[in-house]
Amino acid sequence: MSASECLYDEPLPADIAGLASSAGPATLISSSGFNCDVWRVKRSMRRDGPRTELDLVVKRHREPCAPVKARAYLREYRLLKRRLGDIVPSAMFVVTRVGDAPGVAVVAEACEPWFDLSDTNNRAEAVRLLAGLERAREQLRTFVRNAREWERGSRLIDLYGNDNLVLDRNRHVRYLDSFNVFFYTDVLHALGESDPWFEQRIEMSRRRLDYLEHLLDSTG
């Protein structure tokens, strides 16, 4: 299921400490990702000045997450944000409790996926679109350049799955993953053990990065 598909309206789960009681009604927009469930929340607030409309997503990591792991996710996010700029939606990481276990949630600006850039089945349409979108081409060039640099340092950006690198409805390139955004390929070699599922995700991410580079070559 695509992250852009709306499932149903419901309150945020009550087991996310500190978030559910204040966030109000939410729309579950993804429950099929590898790491998290995602809700969309629209709120109106006012502080001294005019009323502000907020459009946010809340991502809850499904597995227990100690604070040290949450800090690692935050470091990865800050690296992405520093190098990729507005390709990465602004976000806040919240150390919380999910049920009885330590956990982490992300509150981020909402972004509506419009076109999946990393899906190789979309090649013809991607070339046509990018040929007429100068800013998107520059954003994609920035993404690929940094991804290649990280790859040389044994840190491969995650391009596995649906709707993680997209054009949004404004035709801007956005990278939407928040958790485990890198595969540390040197760790796989150091373990000396075969992990077919992990290797499959790495191989697809590499193929898709090659494909994105090819898109740039095809569109100037």
Q: Which one, of 104, 174, 191, 169, lies nearest residue 139 by Cα?
A: 174
Q: Are residues 37 and 52 in the same domain?
A: yes
Please give the pLDDT value at position 180: 82
Distance CA(29)–CA(90), nearest Å, equals: 18
Mean pLDDT value of segment 73-85: 94
Residue 26 contacts residue 13 (beta carbons within 8 Å):
no
- Residue 130: φ, ψ to 5°: -65, -30
Does pLDDT of 122 surpass 90? yes
Q: Which one, of 2, 63, 57, 10, lies nearest residue 31 by Cα?
A: 2
Give percent of the chain with pLDDT exceeding 90.
Answer: 40
Q: Which one, of 33, 27, 81, 36, lies nearest residue 55 by Cα?
A: 27
From residue 98, give the alpha-carbon distance in Å to each of 20, 24, 42, 178.
Answer: 11, 18, 22, 17
Is residue 208 domain-resident?
yes
Does pLDDT of 39 surpass 80? no
Is residue 49 domain-resident?
yes
Distance CA(47)–CA(210), nearest Å, equals: 47
- Domain stops at, among 50, 83, 109: 109
Does pLDDT of 2 surpass 80? no
**pLDDT class for 58, splitting at 50, 70, 90?**
confident
Please give the pLDDT value at position 12: 47
Between 17 and 205, name the one with better pLDDT.
Answer: 205
Please give the pLDDT value at position 64: 80
Q: Are residues 56 and 98 in the same domain?
A: yes
Distance CA(34)–CA(28), nearest Å, equals: 15
Does pLDDT of 24 surpass 70? no
Distance CA(158)–CA(182), nearest Å, equals: 5
pLDDT digits (tens, 9 = 90+) for 158-208: 998 888 899 999 999 999 988 888 988 877 666 666 778 788 889 999 999
Mean pLDDT value of segment 122-133: 95
How would you class 19 by CB atoms within 10 Å of its CB: exposed for 0-12, middle for 13-18, buried for 19 or more?
buried
Does pLDDT of 98 surpass 80? no
Mean pLDDT value of segment 44-61: 75
Between 103 and 167, name the one with better pLDDT.
Answer: 167
Does pLDDT of 7 surpass 50? no
Mean pLDDT taken over the chain:
81
From residue 183, give the alpha-carbon distance in Å to each of 125, 147, 157.
Answer: 29, 12, 6
Helices (H) and strands (E) counted in the chain, each on its own, are: 6, 11
Mean pLDDT value of segment 33-38: 70
Name the domain count of the chain: 2
Q: Tokens at residue 184, please?
A: 């540390």
Q: Are residues 125 and 174 in the same domain?
A: yes
Q: Are residues 86 and 180 in the same domain?
A: no
Domain that residue 99 falls in:
8-109
